């Protein structure tokens, strides 16, 4: 008796495409993931421009409401709480790292304010009043800046970039976009910071030099915040560090003015 060769059943195009994507060494980028990242980045650009260059620029709720919409969109697209850095299993670890990072920032900033050589960089006219600095540190900065930005960048954007290109995409893309997010908010940096004005001077060249420094600094900070999110799996860790960098800086500005 002659043995006939065995034939495999026909494979559907969808199944073949799935098998092709799972072969070792082949990229796993999907159109859905690219669309999600594009939608999130577009949303961030729209929020930033609206918050700084439209009639809503004076509305404190513009950024929080915009980010809330991004979170809702991400959930609708299938992202879990763990994808957003809000998973229950990572909260304690994230809280410990966040508190530790905040304590470290407090020590470093306090030392910098105490030294006359570095104190000038904290002379921000926006926080010349201690009362204003306290309100900013405890209310405005957490609600208007830290929580929305961390949910947007270390939450939604982190999760979508991780799906698209893994850890490398998260660190490079997330850090760069976080730096660019601060272009609009740093346009008046040299005009309000005495130390930077003394260092860079005034005029448009000094203004854009200040913007460049701000983008580089916040991109670097974004890499550190992303590392904390990656290390702990929780958005609570970068929230702690981000709050310390902004809020302790505001309180340090008030303290610097009182040294005069």
**Digit-coded pLDDT (tens) for 101-157:** 999 999 999 999 988 888 877 887 788 888 999 999 999 999 999 999 999 999 999
What's the confidence (pLDDT) of residue 21?
A: 45
The pLDDT mean for the chain works out to 85
**From CA 82, how far away is CA 184, in angstroms rounded?**
31
Q: What is the pLDDT of residues 47-70, one digit of tens each?
A: 999 999 999 888 889 999 999 999
| DSSP class per residue in 67-102 | HHHHHHHHHHTT--TTTTT--GGGHHHHHHHHHHHH
What's the confidence (pLDDT) of residue 132?
A: 92
What's the confidence (pLDDT) of residue 192?
A: 61
Q: What is the pLDDT of residues 169-203, one digit of tens each?
A: 999 999 999 999 999 888 776 656 656 666 666 66
Confidence of residue 24 (pLDDT cuts 50, 70, 90): very low
Q: What is the pLDDT of residues 195-241, one digit of tens each?
A: 666 666 666 777 777 788 889 999 999 999 999 999 999 999 999 99
What's the confidence (pLDDT) of residue 16?
A: 42
What's the confidence (pLDDT) of residue 10?
A: 44
| pTM of the complete model | 0.81
Contact in structure between 156 and 84 (CB atoms under 8 Å): yes
Q: Is the pLDDT of residue 20 over 60?
A: no
Contact in structure between 234 and 93 (CB atoms under 8 Å): yes
Q: Stretch 28-42: mean pLDDT, rounded?
A: 89
Task: Tell which residue, 85, 65, 47, has the closest CA to residue 143.
Answer: 65
């Amino acid at each position: 008796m002659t043995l006939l060769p065995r034939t495999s059943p026909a494979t559907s195009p969808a199944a073949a495409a799935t098998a092709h994507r799972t072969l070792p060494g082949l990229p796993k980028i999907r159109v859905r993931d690219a669309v999600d990242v594009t939608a999130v980045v577009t949303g961030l650009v729209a929020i930033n421009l609206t918050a700084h260059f439209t009639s809503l620029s004076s509305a404190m709720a513009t950024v929080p409401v915009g980010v809330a919409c991004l979170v809702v969109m991400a959930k609708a697209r299938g992202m879990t709480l763990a994808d957003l850095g809000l998973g229950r299993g990572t909260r304690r670890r994230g809280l410990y790292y966040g508190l530790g990072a905040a304590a470290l920032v407090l020590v470093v900033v306090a030392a910098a304010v105490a030294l006359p050589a570095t104190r000038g960089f904290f002379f921000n006219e926006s926080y010349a009043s201690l009362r204003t600095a306290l309100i900013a540190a405890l209310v405005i900065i957490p609600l208007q800046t830290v929580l929305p930005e961390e949910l947007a960048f270390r939450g939604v954007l982190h999760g979508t970039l991780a799906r698209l290109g893994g850890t490398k995409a998260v660190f490079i893309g997330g850090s760069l976009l976080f730096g660019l997010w601060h272009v609009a908010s740093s346009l008046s940096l040299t005009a309000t910071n005495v130390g930077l004005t003394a260092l860079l001077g005034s005029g448009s060249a000094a203004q854009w030099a200040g913007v460049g420094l701000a983008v580089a600094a916040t991109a670097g900070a974004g890499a550190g915040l992303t590392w904390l999110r990656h290390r702990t799996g929780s958005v609570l860790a970068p929230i702690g560090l981000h709050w310390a960098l902004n809020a302790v800086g505001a309180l340090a500005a008030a303290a610097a003015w009182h040294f005069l």
